[in-house]
Amino acid sequence: MNKNLFFRKPFEYKFFNASLWIIAINVFVFILTSLYPQLKTYLSLNVVLIVRHKMYWQFLTYMFTHANVSHLIFNMFGILFFGVNLEKAIGSKEFILFYLVCGILCGVLSFTGYYFTGGYRIFLLGASGAVYAILFAYAVVFPRSIIYIWGLLPIPAPILVLIYTVIEIFSQVFSSSNVAHLTHLFGFLIAWIYFVVRMGIHPIKIWKGKY
């Protein structure tokens, strides 16, 4: 990695459980929006509210807002299972930067898609884009890691990323659910770009064992 480039200057390694703080913030926001449901309107990402009412903070706050308990638990489990180990490997400061950059850019790309396809009534919320980015990063940092699906089925981390990519593409094309499949794919895409631009690492080469 060329450390002379300003955007590749590494942080001093420190670990202070940023993953757990992120989880705590998500839980706090969920409790807050449960007590005051109208807050979801202002914290979720919506094209009309951003364009007409200048609610630009939604590019950040949407990723800390969740629809229900199962939505929250699924995403927080992803941060706990993959994020903690990733944070230990790359350091807390790098992890926070990675999480926020991926989450915000997932929101920006999703907003762009909604804007040009007329998705003005959609309210995007949840940490899923950032969590998918964490999964991708985990597979790059720990390419030989084996993940046991349902505690039984062993799958290498890079293969799991490929499986999820296929599932999300298929779901985006054929599913009519309210799940933001395209945002999940943006998480993978932005994480890929982050490794190439910020770290000078090409994930495919990692997975092929060329580093």
128-151: pLDDT as tens digits: 999 999 999 999 999 999 988 777
48-85: pLDDT as tens digits: 999 999 999 999 999 999 999 999 999 999 999 999 99
Question: If pLDDT is split at 50, 70 and 90, which confidence band does 180 have?
Answer: confident
**Euclidean distance between CA atoms 190 and 146, whole angstroms:** 23
Q: Which residue has the higher pLDDT, 87 or 162?
A: 87
pLDDT at 181: 82
In this structure, are residues 65 and 126 in contact, taking their beta carbons and an 8 Å threshold? Answer: yes
pLDDT at 176: 62
pLDDT average, residue stretch 152-171? 87
pTM given for the model: 0.92
Q: What percentage of the chain carries pLDDT values higher than 70?
A: 94
**Euclidean distance between CA atoms 166 and 42, whole angstroms:** 33
pLDDT at 97: 98
Helix axes 181-198, 157-174, angle to 10 degrees: 140
- ∠ CA 113-99-52, rounded to 5°: 40
In this structure, are residues 83 and 134 in contact, taking their beta carbons and an 8 Å threshold? Answer: yes
pLDDT at 4: 64
Question: If pLDDT is split at 50, 70 and 90, which confidence band does 195 have?
Answer: very high
* Nearest to 23, CA basis, from 67, 66, 80: 80
- ∠ CA 5-190-53, rounded to 5°: 105
pLDDT at 166: 87
- For residue 192, give the H/E element and its range: helix 181-198
**Euclidean distance between CA atoms 28 and 44, whole angstroms:** 15
pLDDT at 134: 96
In degrees and rounded to multiples of 5, residue 11 shows phi and psi of: -80, 155
Asked whether residue 1 carries a pLDDT value surpassing 60, the answer given is no
pLDDT at 167: 84
pLDDT average, residue stretch 146-164? 86
| Three-class DSSP category at 91 | coil
In this structure, are residues 164 and 132 in contact, taking their beta carbons and an 8 Å threshold? Answer: yes
pLDDT at 211: 57
pLDDT at 126: 95
122-131: pLDDT as tens digits: 999 999 999 9
Task: Give the amino acid at 190.
Answer: I
pLDDT at 152: 80
pLDDT average, residue stretch 16-21? 98
